[in-house]
Amino acid sequence: MKCKITPLILSIFFTIASAHAQVKVVGECALQFEILEKQSSQWVPIGTKNVLVKGSQCKTIFSTPQLVQALIFNTQFETATILKDIGQSHFLQEIKYPPANLPTMLSMKESADSAISILGYLCKKVQLTWSDGLVYEIQYTNEMMTTVNAFEAAFKDIPGLVLAYTIIPQKGNSIQYHATSIDLSPISLNQFNVNKDQYQIID
């Protein structure tokens, strides 16, 4: 009996190992997203979002004509830095990250027939529903993931790299993010350094 069970166990093990081996983990990555807002029945460009990952560090930069806001965090620490540039004013705030009061995910539904290609990567679609009423429609590739894959806290359970997502509130306009470029070149550590003398510190 042992001779029959052992090959079966080995077969299952190698099948699982093979499935995990297909996901390439990259330690450095730069993504750019176009941001669009649904106004009436049309999607209108409102800005860009850049995501930089280097090891355990992540920096996201949200840019519009009125505001540039960056979030810098390291998964090995419990705090993050928010930088805001509004006109000629520059603000810095230290926060607990991830925040303790995050909403709870109520459901996660994957669509079996919704695969599309984004930047050459085949993506799957999943819908997340949250306790605060927000719905995330996410498209991700399981061909690759970064060492900091949850550049948005809502992505912590996504088994791959998110390349497009739409945030749908109960009230107000939906916001869509769509990756327009991906770069796997090395990223300078200077991207994560902050000269606090250039900012007004706020609580």
DSSP 189: G
Instruction: Report if residue 13 sits inside a domain.
Output: no
pLDDT in tens, 96-145: 998 888 899 999 998 876 678 999 999 999 999 999 999 999 999 999 99
Sorting pLDDT into bands at 50, 70 and 90, what band is 89? Answer: very high
Pairing of strands 57-63, 68-74: antiparallel
Instruction: Report if residue 8 sits inside a domain.
Output: no
Domain that holds residue 54: 25-201
Instruction: Report if residue 124 sits inside a domain.
Output: yes
CATH number of the domain where residue 40 is located: 2.50.20.10
Instruction: Report if residue 117 sits inside a domain.
Output: yes
pLDDT in tens, 13-62: 333 334 444 789 999 999 999 999 999 889 999 999 999 999 999 999 99
Instruction: Report if residue 7 sits inside a domain.
Output: no
Task: Please give the model's pTM, rounded to 2 decimal places.
Answer: 0.86
Instruction: Report if residue 160 sits inside a domain.
Output: yes
What pLDDT does residue 113 have? 67
Among 80, 202, 86, CA closest to 153? 80
Instruction: Report if residue 5 sits inside a domain.
Output: no
Q: What angle do CA 198, 49, 61 make, to 5 degrees?
A: 20
- The domain total for the chain is 1
CA gap 40, 56 in Å, rounded: 40
Instruction: Report if residue 14 sits inside a domain.
Output: no
Q: How large is the average pLDDT for residues 146-164?
A: 94
Instruction: Check: CB of residue 170 under 8 Å from CB of residue 152.
Output: no
